[in-house]
């Protein structure tokens, strides 16, 4: 699940990471809560600044104009339901900082760049550190202070790293990104913008009340010549599915995390993309339903079988929210389920070896 900025910043604030003073407003709230202010479109995608979704207002008239403009501006097909109005910071420097689950090393990584902001994707000189627990924060904070060339902010950065790690782990996030991490003219380090992705597979551990927005589908080609494709929800479950396929002697063509809140249309699009791989002879589906409901997955499976002539055999494990409804949908369509991922992989291996 991809959080909207105001939701991510609420979790950062709860972890005691400094954020700008801000107020979330709806379309009906057109009066400025304070001035000067920065109005920011609250949509679950990047590129807001370049698209015109972030505007500085210094007068009531500018605020009203910005309010009307942003609420009518669709960014990547998303119209905002609310705006985040924040204090205008005096910026000295902007940095990049994030914590994420790294599949390759099976660890949590801290990433940093001396240059943050809207052009960060053009930077290639990222530094990274593995963090195993909170005790590593002091060493990493010292290294980042040196890297940022902010020796007088060593203690502050050590605290931020510790809290960033805590925020990632406590919330079952796969990514907590601060971009930019702002150094203000008066020497404060503040999270100017935030992005957070939560692992949908961990939703049963939380009483999440966030806007139901799906994370952008994480579809990665691993091996164009692979003999099986994988579909899972949540980065952790998707990684585990790919690793289990390798362990079973299969060659995954892809890594696919369908995210939280995936719809029948989203899932059908994933199937259509998978059948473009030339050697895929089976699809492994491993879903623990939470925000992504089991019946939505079942409907997509039925639709894919009806609409895609070249669809290879499906080996399906589903559990969680609306499982009974999903089972009925699949039973009615003559599609069988397997109780565990191991059973899926065993059956798929047998089919490929036949």
Is residue 210 situated within a structural domain?
A: no
* Domain edge (last residue) among 37, 71, 87: 87
Is residue 2 situated within a structural domain?
A: no
Q: Which domain holds residue 75?
A: 21-87
Is residue 117 situated within a structural domain?
A: yes
**Are 78 and 110 contained in the same domain?**
no
**Are 145 and 46 contained in the same domain?**
no
Is residue 270 situated within a structural domain?
A: yes
Question: Could you give the percent of the chain with pLDDT greater than 90?
Answer: 65
Q: Are 335 and 302 in contact (CB under 8 A)?
A: yes
Measuring CA to CA, which residue among 335, 80, 48 is closest to residue 195?
A: 48
Which residues touch 77 (CB under 8 Å, ≥6 apart)?
none
* Domain edge (last residue) among 87, 110, 129: 87
What predicted TM-score, i.e. pTM, was given to this entire model? 0.63
Which residues touch 243 (CB under 8 Å, ≥6 apart)?
none
Predicted pLDDT at 104: 60
Residue 197 scores a pLDDT above 80: yes
CA distances from 238 to 201, 219, 232, 285 (A): 10, 10, 5, 10
Q: Give pLDDT tens digits for 235-245.
A: 778 888 999 99
What count of other Cβ atoms lies within 10 Å of the Cβ of residue 223? 13
pLDDT band at 83 (very low <50, low <70, confident <90, very high): very high
C-alpha–C-alpha distance, residues 110 and 144, integer Å: 10
Domains held by the chain: number:
3
224 burial (CB, 10 Å; 0-12 / 13-18 / 19+) is exposed
**Are 61 and 115 contained in the same domain?**
no
CA distances from 75 to 50, 52, 70, 177 (A): 10, 9, 10, 20
Q: Give pLDDT tens digits for 89-148.
A: 999 999 999 999 876 677 899 999 999 887 665 566 789 999 999 999 999 999 999 999
* Domain edge (last residue) among 32, 52, 87: 87
**Are 189 and 248 contained in the same domain?**
no
């Amino acid at each position: 699940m991809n959080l909207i900025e105001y939701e991510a910043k609420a979790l950062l604030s709860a972890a005691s990471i400094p954020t700008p003073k801000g107020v979330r407003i709806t379309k009906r709230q057109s009066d400025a809560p304070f001035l000067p202010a920065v109005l920011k479109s609250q949509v679950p995608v990047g590129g807001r600044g370049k698209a015109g979704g972030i505007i500085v207002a210094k007068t009531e008239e500018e605020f009203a104009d910005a309010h009307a403009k942003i609420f009518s501006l669709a960014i990547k097909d998303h119209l905002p339901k609310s705006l985040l109005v924040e204090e205008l910071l005096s910026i000295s420097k902007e940095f990049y900082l994030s914590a994420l689950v790294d599949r390759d090393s099976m660890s949590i990584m801290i990433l940093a760049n001396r240059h943050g902001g809207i052009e960060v994707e053009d930077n290639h000189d990222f530094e990274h550190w593995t963090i195993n627990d909170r005790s590593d924060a002091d060493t990493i904070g010292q290294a980042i202070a040196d890297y940022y060339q902010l020796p007088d902010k060593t203690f502050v950065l050590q605290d931020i790293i510790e809290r960033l790690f805590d925020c990632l782990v406590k919330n079952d996030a796969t990514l907590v990104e601060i971009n930019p991490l702002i150094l203000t003219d008066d020497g404060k380090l503040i999270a100017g913008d935030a992005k957070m992705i939560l692992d949908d597979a961990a939703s049963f551990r939380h009483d999440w009340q966030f806007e139901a927005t799906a994370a952008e589908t994480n579809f990665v080609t691993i091996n164009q010549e692979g003999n099986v494709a994988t579909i899972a929800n949540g980065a952790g479950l998707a990684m585990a599915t790919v690793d289990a396929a390798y362990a079973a002697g299969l060659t995954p063509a892809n890594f696919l995390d369908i995210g939280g809140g995936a719809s029948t249309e989203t899932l059908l699009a994933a199937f259509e993309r998978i059948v473009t791989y030339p050697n895929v002879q089976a699809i492994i589906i491993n879903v623990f339903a939470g925000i992504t409901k089991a019946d939505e997955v079942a409907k997509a499976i039925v639709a894919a079988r009806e609409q895609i002539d070249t669809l290879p055999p499906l080996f399906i494990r589903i559990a969680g929210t609306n499982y009974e409804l999903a089972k009925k949908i699949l039973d009615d369509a003559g599609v069988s389920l397997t109780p565990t991922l191991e059973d899926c992989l065993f059956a798929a291996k047998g089919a490929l070896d036949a």
